[in-house]
Amino acid sequence: MRSQRTRGAASVRTVVLAVAVLTASAVATVTYNKASSELIESASDNLYALMELRRDELADYYESVRDGTLFWARNPFLRPALPAFIEAWNELGGDRQATLQRLYIEENPHPVGQKGRLEDAGDGSSYSATHAQYHAFLKRFISQWGFYDVFLFDPAGNLVYSGFKESDFATNFVTGPWRDTDLGRAFRAARDSARRGHFVMFDFAPYPPSHDAPASFTASPVVDDDGELVGVLAFQVSIERIDEIMQVVQGMGETGETYAVGDDLLMRSDSRFSEESTILKTTVDTETARLALAGESGVRITDDFRGVSVLSAYGPLELDGVTAWAVLAEVDEAEILAPVARLRTWLVLAGVILVGVMVLIGASAGLLGSRSRAG
C-alpha cells in the first residue's frame, strides 16, 4: 500500500511538472510569436514609407530632368548658342571631326576625364571663340541641374558641342560610329519630331564613348520662332544624383538599403554595400522585383538578390505613365528580429530555470514525504 502511495505521489509530481513545462512553453511561444509579429508589422510600415519616399524623390528627379530638358530647349539663352556653334562648325571646313578632336581632346593639356576644363583651344577659330563664350556657362548649368553632360546637335546629326569632350565629340550620329547608341537614337527621335515640347528619354545602357559606363539620355528638338528645326539638345543623366537619392542610410539600419531595378532585372542604382558599381551589373531576379515591375506594391519576407532572407518593400516607379523601374527597400530579416531573438534566449533560459525549480521542488517534496512515512 505504501509503495502504491509513493508511486501515486511520484505520478502526480510528474504530471504537475509536465503541466508546468507545457504551460511555460506555451507562454514562451505565444510571447515570442506576438513580439515577432509586432516587430515585423512595425518594420514593414517603416520600410514601405522609406520605399515610397525614395521612389517619390526619384520620380521628382526625373521630372526635373524632363522639365530641364524642355526648358532649355526653348530657353532664350541656349537657342542662340546652338546656331552659333553650328555656324562656327560650318566655318571650320575640312575634316571637322579630326580638327576638333585634335584641339579639344588630343592636344588638350588636361587629363582624361577632365578634358571639359579647356575653354579655349587657342587656335583663333570662330569655333574656339564660340566655345569660350558658352562653355563655362554650360558646365555650370549641367552641374546645377544634376546632369552628367550636355550635347548640341545640328540637324544633320553632327555633335557640334559636348561638355566632357569624350570620343563622341564632333562625330556624326547619323553616319558615324556611335549612330546605333542610345544617344544616336535619342537624337533621331527628337529630330524627326521637330516639334517644340517633344521629349524623349532612354534608359541606362552601356555607352561605348564612356568606356561602356552606364548612360541614360534625354533629348528635345530646338526650333525657332517659325517652328523650323534648329537642332537637338540632349543630356546625359547623372548616376551620382540617383545614388544620392537611393543611398540615404537614415532609417535603414545596418543591413538595409534601397535600390532601383530595370525591366531587364538589372540594378539601376548602386548598392550601398558594394565598392564597385552595380548598375547594369547586378541581377535582381527576385519575387518582389518582378511584382513591382508588374505594377504591384507591398511588403513581404523573401530572399533578396544575395539569397538572404529580407523584409522587402516594393513598388513601381512610373515615368510618363509607364512602369519603368522597380524600387525596393530591404533589410535583413535577422536584423529586424534581433530583439526577439534575444527575447527567445531569455525565454528559453527562464523556462530551463523554471523546470529546474519545479524538479527541485518535486524532489524535495518526495524526500520530505519519504521521511514522514519512515518516521
Residue 141 has a pLDDT of 79
Residue 249 has a pLDDT of 86
DSSP-derived secondary structure letter, 267: B
Residue 20 has a pLDDT of 55
Residue 170 has a pLDDT of 97
Give pLDDT < 50 ranges for the chain. Answer: 341, 343, 367-368
The residue whose grid cell reads 544616336 is 184
DSSP-derived secondary structure letter, 255: T
Distance from chain centroid for Cα 368: 71
In the numeric block, which cell numbers belong to residue 212? 561602356
Judge whether 256 and 54 are in contact, CB under 8 Å: no
Judge whether 315 and 292 are in contact, CB under 8 Å: yes
Cα separation, 327 vs 259, in Å, equals: 6
DSSP-derived secondary structure letter, 275: S
Question: Looking at the DSSP assignment, which residues form a beta bridge with residue 330?
Answer: 257, 312
Write out the CATH class of domain 65-241.
alpha beta
Cα separation, 21 vs 13, in Å, equals: 12
Q: pLDDT tens digits, residue range 281-311?
A: 999 999 999 999 999 999 999 999 999 999 9
Cα separation, 222 vs 194, in Å, equals: 8
Cα-Cα-Cα-Cα dihedral sign, residues 267, 270, 271, 274: positive
Q: pLDDT tens digits, residue range 298-355?
A: 999 999 999 999 999 999 998 876 668 999 999 998 888 776 545 455 555 555 555 5
Question: Looking at the DSSP assignment, which residues form a beta bridge with residue 314?
Answer: 298, 328
Residue 75 has a pLDDT of 82
Residue type, 181: T
In the numeric block, which cell numbers belong to residue 372? 514522514
Residue type, 81: A
